[in-house]
Amino acid sequence: MHYDREVTERRLARVLNERIRPAVHTRSVPLQAEIWNVPGEPVPVRDGLTAPYRPARVGDRWGPAWSTSWFRVSGTIPAEWAGLPVEAVLDLGFATHSPGFSAEGLVLRADGTAVKALNPRNTWLPVTESAVGGEEFVRYIEAAANPVVMHTGPDELTFGPTSVGGQAPWLGDPAADPGEPLYRLRRLDLAVVDRDVYELVQDLDVLGQLMHELPVDSPRRWQILRAVERALDAVDLQNPGASAVAARAALAPALAAPASAGAHRISAVGHAHIDTAWLWPLRETVRKVARTVSNVTQLMDDHPEFRFVMSQAQQLAWLKEHRPEVYARAQEKAKAGQFLPTGSLWVEPDTNLTGGESLVRQFVHGKRFYLEEFGVETEEMWLPDTFGYNAALPQLMKLAGVRWFLTQKISWNTTNKFPHHTFWWEGIDGTRIFSHFPPVDSYNGDLSGADIAHTVRNFQDKGAASHSLVPFGYGDGGGGPTREMLARAARLADLEGSARVALERPATFFARAHAEYEANGGAPVWSGELYLEFHRGTLTSQLATKQGNRRGEHLLREAELWAATAAVRHGHPYPYEALDRLWKTVLLHQFHDILPGTSIAWVHREAEETYAAVARELEQIVEDAQRTLAGSGDGTVVFNAAPHDRAGVPALGAGLRTDSGEGNVPPVPDGDGFVLDNGLIRVTVDGRGLITSAYDRTADREALPPGASANLLQLHQDFPNQWDAWDIDVFYRDTVRDLTDIESVTATGSGVHVVRAFGASRIEQTLTLPAGSRRLVIDTVVDWHEREKLLKAAFPLDVRAAHSTAEIPFGHVERPTHTNTSWDAAKFEICAHRFLHVGERDWGAALVNDSTYGHDVTRTVRPDGGTTTTVRLSLLRAPRFPDPDTDQGTHRLRYALVIGADIADAVREGYHLNLPERALPGSTSVAPLVSVDHEGVVIEAVKLADDRSGDVVVRLYEAHGVRARATLTTGFPLASATATDLLERPLDDPASQQVTEGTVRLRLRPFQILTLRLVAA
């Protein structure tokens, strides 16, 4: 007999989708429905339960964008269904296949407790396993009319401001909503569940998917094909339920064949990546969390083997506050070992842009929440969807008690494939963390045949290892695993032709993988940052959000420093609760779709308002503490929160000032331009407002190449192939416009004022040179109204720099300026925090900034044989998606060129630009609470201990990349000094606890971070 393989495969698809799946719910009766449309924002449950409902029916439209509607559905179980399993089937009219990107609903009982959620992949609701005829059924649905902002269909995404699934991109801004209903009720039924048909669907689903992934010439593929044929022959197309048992029997031998002894092993970990904000606002994430946790805890009742991880403490804190009964269910399942708090962080933050101390607090608040609420000491850093990973993270993880690291985002690289899936990640200080990239290349796996086959084919470490991890469950918008996924896992536990799948905890996988590598000579090592060759535009998009974060981080530093100093010196009340709340607010907004600038307009407008409120409150905390410290009097007390002395004021202290402080030198006319000269540096600004000379008098050296101009603003066309707010594609460089046209170049009392206009935008810059400084400051105000453009500021320098040096949290990294390899070439847009430095062995220059992260560095050789190294800052972008008005409006930012600078100068000037002096009336100098005698040992935080003991906690690090011996001195009698972890718990590190006559002697490795708890005598 001749067989056509493709005929059988097509037959399977049609019979399964058109006859067998619909037969899972064969007998059904409609439910009665009523609706209440919530006026305005979501309301408490009690309001929804007692609202004035009106009749509704299938086919009715509901839900303008972002609105909430409550449905009351009710009915009676027919008497003839007695003893049968019954479910409700509730389809709200979901507009896409993807959970979390469309309408969603939470089903509640009449007492207000949650049952489970509804989404496009989860339309069923448990009613009873053994019906009682005549029993009444009543449920409430809190339905969210969240619009489809991006997904358009089962296999298509859109990345720009085009019509999306019949909806439109303005839906990211509720102010632009025309108020039309988006959804139409499709089905509201009670239905009998045919368990045999349901299991037949799962059998065919698994075998069919496996069959498609096996080679066509594989005997196993043909064995499955024959079994499928026999099963389909057994199906009664008019009554699949009557034939389901026979059809399953035909499949049983194929499902019973065990996997080979050498089959790859997969630890399947239930997961639901919930973006804390993205194509929805923060308030909607609060509800997404409740829906997802309701789903997974309901599944756990029926599947005790099911394990689920949740990785953002903030989301659980929201759940505790807003849905305490769902939170209690999570705690109950955590005690049973099914619900697994993991990740160790407050949110899943961006780790390129987030500052060092903020990353510390991400661990502190995340781990502390899990310890206090669940009694769990998390040991994993679970960060699957962040756009690159800075090289300080391994040390931070270790200091937080984290042993394992998981991500998968590097699989999105567009140029180079990362060479390992399991490896040791080595940070800038030498710390190594055992790490895993799931070879499934997704954090939203569904345990399909395609997922499993890709995992096996893609695994880079074959031969050395045989285990990998698959996070499974619908995510981004939440939803989590489904019962169908668990059915796949059960069938794939030991199935010929497939990897072996086991539902396990992350720690089980990591311990096994580590042991396996140790038995095979050890895992490979990757040293340095994990640079994502994608989403480079996230370093620049939404400047106001980034400025709010940068300012918030530095204000928190100041607030803790001065409040601790005032508390120790004067008994001033330390604002524990306020600082805890404000830290958590800043940490929340470091989520990897808020801080990178990739959320809808609603999210970023709220973020700007929140940052402004945070700044106001922190400014008040700073002022209250400083007024206490400055005392009364008519003098001027100058406070210096920077970690280096400045203009006679000690680091972390305050001094009386009798003069005007560090003033700026006045400009002197020079032809049609001006000269700024302070005796150290001479800067020439021409009639175009461009810097044509930056001369280092001390070194007798010109910083600029012959004929070059610096602070050259350049405008590029910026239209990436996809992911507008996320991406800068390399071809942006092909189109550039130098902004040399000028409206005016004038002298002010202390600088040169330059005004330019271009397109619909306008830029005003003031260039100032402080007396006694090597720092030329450029204060920039941009009224920005361009579209799909990228604005950069270029500084060509006459240096042959082999590498650039960029500040990252708690240190810096060096990156080649050449493009010898594809790895080097892919880093055409790089991240730097407060400074980026280039130089030769004996001379260099740095660019420091107060809110810029995106940079690029290129190198050319001139006809005269010299080398020009050009450093550019990325100032503004104007992507159209997901916020069509990204960055439109007025912005102020500052950056500075530091001439004749080494790394120490770059570190110091970066802090000084971000932590300006504060002057208050008073008469009292303030000695620093703590000080250190080594310029390269930077004090990053001074605070009171979180346990309210009154102990002073100091965090410091070595910033220059060298070994350092230093002495820390306290401004109070010192009894003891104890090295601690990030949670302020003692570490076994006696070398750092040597207290002699009130000082602490320190020895630090390059880039070592040290936290000390200081107890007053």
CA distance 257 to 243: 23
767 membership: H or E segment, kind and range: strand 761-768
Residue position matching structure tokens 């009292």: 924
Distance CA(274)–CA(444), nearest Å, equals 10
Structure tokens at 500: 């072996």
| Cα(232)–Cα(245) distance, integer angstroms | 12
In whole angstroms, what is the distance from residue 790 CA to residue 727 CA?
A: 11
Say if CB 954 and CB 961 are below 8 A apart: no
Helix axes 543-570, 601-630, angle to 10 degrees: 20
First to last CA, the chain: 94
C-alpha closest to that of 139 among 107, 105, 93 = 107
Closest to 851 in 3D by CA, of 552, 497, 452, 585: 552
Q: Are strands 308-310 and 339-341 parallel, antiparallel or unpaired?
A: parallel
Contact assessment for residue 574 and residue 944, using Cβ atoms and an 8 Å cutoff? yes
Tokens of 182: 């988006």
Return the C-alpha torsion angle 430, 432, 436, 442, nearest 10.
Answer: -50
The DSSP bridge partners found for residue 136 are: 76
- Nearest C-alpha neighbor of 280 from the set 591, 724, 581, 545: 591
Q: What share of the chain is helix, strand, coil (3-state, %, to 5)?
A: 30, 30, 40
Neighbouring CB atoms inside 10 A of 138's CB total 12
Structure tokens at 552: 């918030």
Does 580 qualify as catalytic in the annotation?
Answer: no
DSSP state of 428: T
Closest among 640, 588, 641, 592 to 611, alpha carbons compared: 588
Q: Is the peptide bond before 882 cis (omega within 30 degrees of 0)?
A: yes
Residue 647 to residues 186, 634, 657, 899: CA-CA distances in angstroms?
A: 72, 21, 10, 19
Rounded distance, CA 30 to CA 73, Å?
A: 10
Q: Within 472-539, where are the H helices?
A: 483-491, 506-519
CA 274 to chain centroid? 11
980 by DSSP, 3-state: which? strand
Per-position DSSP letters for 101-128, written without gaps between them = SS-EEEEE-TTS-EEEEEBTTB-EEEEE
Residue of 385, 593, 856, 902 marked catalytic? 385
Q: How far apart are CA 506 and CA 308, in angstroms?
A: 10
Specify whether the CB–CB gap between 832 and 806 falls below 8 A: yes
CA angle 950, 951, 953 (to 5 degrees): 130
Looking at this protein, which amino acid is placed at residue 214? L
Instruction: Give 353's contacts (C-beta < 8 A, 6+ positions apart).
Output: 538, 539, 546, 549, 590, 595, 596, 831, 853
Q: What CA–CA distance (Å, rounded) separates 657 from 926?
A: 12
Task: Give whole-number Cα distances, 870 to 705, 738, 742, 799, 969, in Å.
Answer: 10, 15, 23, 9, 42
Distance CA 996, CA 1002 (A): 11
d(C-alpha 643, C-alpha 565), whole Å: 15
Q: Report how far residue 643's alpha carbon sits from residue 956's, in angstroms, rounded to the nearest whole number.
A: 10
Place of tokens 């524990």: 576
Element housing 138 (H / E): strand 136-144
> Which residue numbers are catalytic?
385
